């Protein structure tokens, strides 16, 4: 099996080319081809000598994994299915992940997966319901950016696809390094948001080490109720999570938002709104209210629009910015909580 070049830094690449007896500057050429020109093969790297390309190709490959299928929603959202190899701490057998490209005017946002399945077990999430199959390696994360049809026009990324990004911290952060480095995609950290249920040890590292935005899956301000739909509450309580976030400055370019999926008769009352206000009062943040997309064997439906509007107004009137997120891609099972990453009948 050939060694993947995708995800490696210029220093990594320099060691490789020197070991192969190639000039040191070849490392910068490789990085430019992969990350700027979006090359998917060594053969495309035409400013490297033919002999040099042949030498590299004996042991190395770029490592971009092409998508297996794509589906387009009537609203323009596009969902891609990628085959992956279960990574470290993963299972065995065939696995797949999904990435979603969301067009919105002059923006094109990629919703990225970081794991095959998920081990957080949130009851309202299709990904969480399928269990954990493995961490994605750095090149499998970056392939989602490079292999899709819109690779050259992406403007933003949200790590809100399959998996818990902070449970796969090292691979996610290596991918973000490539996305934000001058030698990589050269994106501003402001173009990237990482979502988490609140894995506190990794969350602290992320807050210390990254300038990208943060989105926290909150969904209920009452610990005992949150525990009933999010088992992770037992290990990392929402009060402790918010307490940690309060120690950091979000008054500048980095933002924190809280994701709140609304379930009729469960977490959409005035009591819940007021508890959420108390929990977040004084914190520079935004609350995104999310429509729930019904999945099998979960007892709740989405809150009616009028209840969501009242909930939003109560938060806004208390000085907490709240928005109702537009639902995208529901007809192709690409909306929040619906990604399953499954092959069916060999496809």
What is the DSSP track for 81-113?
A: EEEE---TT---S-EEEEEEEEEETTEEEEE--
Query: What's the DSSP call for residue 137?
Result: P
Q: Which runs of consecutive H residues, i.e. helices, occur in 74-189?
A: 126-129, 138-146, 169-180
* Backbone phi, psi, residue 254, to 5°: -80, 135
Residues 132 and 91 sit within 8 Å (Cβ to Cβ): yes
* Backbone phi, psi, residue 204, to 5°: -65, -40
- Three-state SS at 306: helix
Instruction: Give CA–CA dist 272/259, Å, rounded.
Output: 14
Tell me the chain's radius of gyration from C-alpha atoms.
21
Residue 299, Cβ neighbours under 10 Å: how many? 9
Query: What's the DSSP call for residue 251?
Result: S
Instruction: Give CA–CA dist 112/106, Å, rounded.
Output: 19
Instruction: Give CA–CA dist 323/289, Å, rounded.
Output: 6
336 is catalytic: yes
- Among candidate residues 98, 164, 233, 259, the one labeled active-site is 98
111 is catalytic: no
Q: Cα–Cα distances in Å, from 119 out to 14, 93, 159, 174?
A: 37, 17, 16, 21
- Among candidate residues 118, 125, 302, 336, the one labeled active-site is 336
Pairing of strands 95-104, 78-84: antiparallel
Burial (CB count <10 Å: 0-12, 13-18, 19+), residue 346: exposed
* Backbone phi, psi, residue 199, to 5°: -80, 95
The counts of H helices and E strands in the chain are 11, 14
Could you give the residue numbers annotated as active site?
98, 336
């Amino acid at each position: 099996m050939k060694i993947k070049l995708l995800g490696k830094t210029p220093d990594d690449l320099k060691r490789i080319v020197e070991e192969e007896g190639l000039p040191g500057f070849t490392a910068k050429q490789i990085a430019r081809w992969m990350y700027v020109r979006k090359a998917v093969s060594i053969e495309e790297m035409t400013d490297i000598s033919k002999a040099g390309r042949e030498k590299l190709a004996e042991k190395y490959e770029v490592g971009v994994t092409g998508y297996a299928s794509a589906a387009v929603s009537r609203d323009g959202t596009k969902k891609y299915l990628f085959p992956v190899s279960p990574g470290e701490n993963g299972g065995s057998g065939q696995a797949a992940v999904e990435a979603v490209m969301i067009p919105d005017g002059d923006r094109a946002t990629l919703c990225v997966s970081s794991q095959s399945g998920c081990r957080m077990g949130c009851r309202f999430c299709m990904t969480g319901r399928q269990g954990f199959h493995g961490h994605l390696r750095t090149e499998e994360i970056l392939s989602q950016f490079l292999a899709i049809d819109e690779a050259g026009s992406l403007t933003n990324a949200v790590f809100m696809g399959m998996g818990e990004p902070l449970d796969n911290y090292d691979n996610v952060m290596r991918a973000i390094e490539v996305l934000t480095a001058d030698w990589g995609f050269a994106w501003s950290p402001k173009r990237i948001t990482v979502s988490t249920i609140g894995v506190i040890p990794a969350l602290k590292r992320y807050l210390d080490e990254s300038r990208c935005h943060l989105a926290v899956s909150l969904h209920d301000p009452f610990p005992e109720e949150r525990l009933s739909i999010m088992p992770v509450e037992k290990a990392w309580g929402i009060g402790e999570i918010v307490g940690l976030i309060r120690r950091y400055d979000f008054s500048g370019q980095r933002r924190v938002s809280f994701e709140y999926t609304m379930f009729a008769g469960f977490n959409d009352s005035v009591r819940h709104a007021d508890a959420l206000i108390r929990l977040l009062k004084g914190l520079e943040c935004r609350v995104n209210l999310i429509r729930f997309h019904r999945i099998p064997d979960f007892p709740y439906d989405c809150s009616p629009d009028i209840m969501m509007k009242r909930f939003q107004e109560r938060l806004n009137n208390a000085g907490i910015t709240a928005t109702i997120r537009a639902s995208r891609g529901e007809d192709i099972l690409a909306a929040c909580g619906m990604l399953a990453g499954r092959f069916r009948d060999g496809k």
